[in-house]
Amino acid sequence: MHLSPELLLAIFDHAAHFMGLLDLQGHLLATNRPALELVGASPAEVEGKPFWETPWWTHDPAAAEALRGAVRQASQGKVVRLETTHPARDGSLRIVDFTLSPLQGPGGTIQWLLPEGRDITERRAATLALRESEAKFRLLFQRNHDGILLLDGDRFTECNQAVLSMMRCTEPELLRMHPWDLSPPTQPDGRPSPEKALEMIGLAHEKGGHRFEWVHRRTDGEDFPVEVTLTPIPLGGREVLYTTWRDITERKHEEQERLGLERRILHAQKLESLGVLAGGIAHDFNNLLSAMIGHLELAGLTLPPGGKATVHLQAVEGLLNRAAELTRQMLAYSGRGTRVTSPLDLSALVEDLTGLLRVSISKKINLDLDLAPRLPAISADLSQINQVLLNLVTNASDAIGDAEGEIHIATGIKAMTEAEIRGLRTDGPMTPGLHVFLEVSDTGSGMNEQVMARLFEPFFSTKSQGRGLGLSAILGILRSHSGGLHLESRPGEGSTFRLFFPALEVPAPDRPTLEAPRPLPPKLRVLLADDEPALREAVAEALDQMGHSVLQARDGVEALEKAREEGESLSMVVLDMTMPRMDGREALAALRGWNPHLPVVLCSGYTDLEDLATLLASGPATFLPKPYTIRELADAMARALAGT
């Protein structure tokens, strides 16, 4: 096919890239329209000039010199290609892929040179943008704190540094492995890791992504939990899984702490509810016991000594005393038991109780004491601490059983830190500082974790017949004393209970001396205020038989009315702390406003220590815990009349 000169010129002029024609010395013989339009020149301005002196090259001397060298090479028959820039008439520089090729004439010799230029500015910008994007992605990929991998089929093809740090291995080592090679044999749900891994991969492809928790195993054998996200992405004509691992060890630890805290809160709420219930039952039961004890004592006064009926009454009295002990345990568990605290020497307390402790345990058991001398005092209720020690020693004896063994009791002092306090069993506030401890250990059967978890539940016992509230009452007593407990036990290795009490800044006092009962003056005019009719009747009759006259009131309002009616003839008031309409506190405040010197006996099964101390300091008064005997009431009345 022969093309006409006109057609060839049209093709030359309408080519998409820049074209021209040079002689062998590099002079421009012709150029096409796109090249002229780029620099805004006319053919007359550029044709006949050396090519390197035209507007396409004069902006850059180095480029012009490179062109001169290219002309020399092309004239010798070589095709020269280089990347250069051409200025555009808008002032911008265009990046050009430039080629200079030799052209042969009719005789086969090189007669011309063909310059061609392709504008690759946009392509270069796109390439640079792609490279920059890839560099950013690579940076994000490598520096991400989460592990990132590419999973092709069931093989990893790429991973970042976070993965290698998690697994503690090198990249070549990891890329040789399957996902299940990086896992323990089974997952937490019991399924084999290979089986579950293939299922997770299949779900990710099927659903377009999948997130789940997994347990991986480091190359050193340590397991750790991760959150895995699998996202299918196209790559190289295939669908691979973009995989992320997030180490959730800390999250799992926080979840366990949160669940543990929730369990402790629920347990505390349960114990608090039981405590409120126990306190309420014990209060009402105390009223009934006081009434029964009063009537029992009245019945005893009508019988000749040594009779058969007297023996039965004494047996009933023993049962009532046991019932009273149970109510004291219930109140101790609820933390609302009556407490008359004073500075105590814990070592002296143990010594004083040693005789009773020895007869309370088997003769095959050796009781060993290691009591620290000159301990700081603790502020405690003597009867409650005695109860704690008796309970612990009795439990230790039961744990040893009929075998030979040893119970070790020790006291001492220890400065407790916040961290150490957090490790204690505490149901109330406990602050760091110096504490006095009481330790009871045994060589008995010990306990497993399941038993220790339930040990302080009310009425829980490992014995066939439990003995009431048991150790739960001890927790109640510790709570009311701002103390704590540490327990160590293993099956077959015995148990150790260590109880901590805040130390006072004063030395422990000398042993107190017992006071003889005080005589009660005759013919007193007594106001008895209590909401339990049976108790009022029993106490009123007993006081009447003792030669006193008694006014009865059902509540605080009625007590105030009768006190004002009696005026100066009223000798004293026996006042219950818990009554309807107006309780004992309000009634006492009103009585003090009317007659600040009127002796008062305050009675209750429970009360707050600080409140009690304030009430007793308001005037001549004493406190009598329920249930009480008539003899104890008479002694309390005598002490109130004496102002102590």
The three-state secondary structure class of 620 is coil
For residue 478, which of 391, 353, 348, 419 has the smallest C-alpha distance? 391
Q: Please, which pLDDT band fits residue 468 given cuts at 50, 70 and 90?
A: very low
Written in H, E and C, the secondary structure of 452-497 is: HHHCCCCCCCCCCCCCCCCHHHHHHHHHHCCCEEEEEECCCCCEEE
Does the structure show a pLDDT above 90 at 277?
Answer: no
Beta-carbon contacts of 199 under 8 Å, excluding residues fewer than 6 positions away, are none
Give which of 516, 510, 512, 573 is closest to 543, Cα–Cα.
573
* 209 three-class SS: coil
> Considering only 90-99, 254-263, 343-352, 460-469, which range has the smallest mean pLDDT?
460-469
Q: How confident is the model at residue 355 (pLDDT cuts 50, 70, 90)?
A: confident
Tokens of 574: 């026996």
Q: Which residues of 510-548 are buried (b: 16+ CB within 10 A; e: fewer)?
A: eeeeeeeeeebeeebebbbbbbbeebbbbbbbbbeebeb
Quote the mean pLDDT of the chain.
Answer: 84
pLDDT of residue 180: 85
For the chain, give the number of residues. 644
**Would you say 94 and 119 are in contact if contact means Cβ atoms under 8 Å apart?**
yes
Return the percentage of the chain with pLDDT > 70, whole number.
85
What ranges make up the beta strands (E) of 68-203?
80-87, 93-104, 110-119, 147-152, 155-159
User: What does the radius of gyration of the chain's CA atoms come to, in whole angstroms?
Assistant: 50
- Name which residue leads in pLDDT, 276 or 222: 222
Q: Using CA atoms, how far apart are residues 403 and 363, in angstroms rounded to an integer?
A: 10
Of 81-95, 178-192, 300-314, 328-342, the range with the lowest mean pLDDT is 328-342
Answer for the pair 113, 102: CB distance below 8 angstroms, yes or no: yes
Which of 23, 31, 18, 160 minimizes the C-alpha distance to 86? Answer: 18
pLDDT of 224: 93
Would you state the pLDDT for residue 628?
85
Residue reference for tokens 């017949």: 465
Q: What is the mean pLDDT of residues 476-493?
A: 87
Please state the CATH superfamily assignment of the domain spanning residues 264-308+516-644 in this structure.
Answer: Response regulator (3.40.50.2300)
The yes-or-no answer to whether 5-121 and 346-507 have a common fold is: no
Say which CATH topology domain 144-247 has.
Answer: Beta-Lactamase (3.30.450)
User: For residue 23, is pLDDT > 90?
Assistant: yes
Instruction: Please tell me the distance from the alpha carbon of residue 637 to that of residue 79, in angstroms, as a whole number.
Output: 128
Q: How far apart are CA 499 and CA 486, in angstroms?
A: 7
Task: Tell me which residue has tokens 């090259």.
Answer: 57
Question: For strand 405-416 and strand 433-442, is the pairing parallel, antiparallel, or unpaired?
Answer: antiparallel
Confidence band for 338, pLDDT divided at 50, 70 and 90 = low
pLDDT of amino acid 331: 61
* Segment 556-566 mean pLDDT: 93
Distance CA 633, CA 611 (A): 21
pLDDT interval class at 11 (50, 70, 90): confident
Q: What is the pLDDT of residues 197-207, one digit of tens each?
A: 999 999 999 99
pLDDT at 510 over 80: no
Strands 525-529 and 549-553: parallel
pLDDT grade, residue 462 (50/70/90)? low
The domain ranges of the chain are 5-121, 144-247, 264-308+516-644, 346-507
Question: Among 82-91, 268-277, 319-328, 333-342, which stretch is predicted with the lowest mean pLDDT?
Answer: 333-342
The domain made up of 5-121 is a member of CATH 3.30.70.270: no
Residue 453 or residue 608, greater confidence: 453
- Identify the pLDDT of residue 3: 60
User: What's the CATH fold of domain 346-507?
Assistant: Heat Shock Protein 90 (3.30.565)
pLDDT tens digit string along 371-404?
Answer: 998 889 998 888 788 888 888 898 888 889 888 9
Residue-wise pLDDT for 105-128, tens only, equals 888 899 999 999 999 999 888 888
Confidence at residue 464, expressed as pLDDT on a 0 to 100 scale: 45
Contact status, residue 486 vs residue 439, Cβ threshold 8 Å: no
SS3 at position 44: helix
pTM of model > 0.75 = no
> Is 227 in contact with 243 (CB distance < 8 Å)?
no
pLDDT at 529: 95
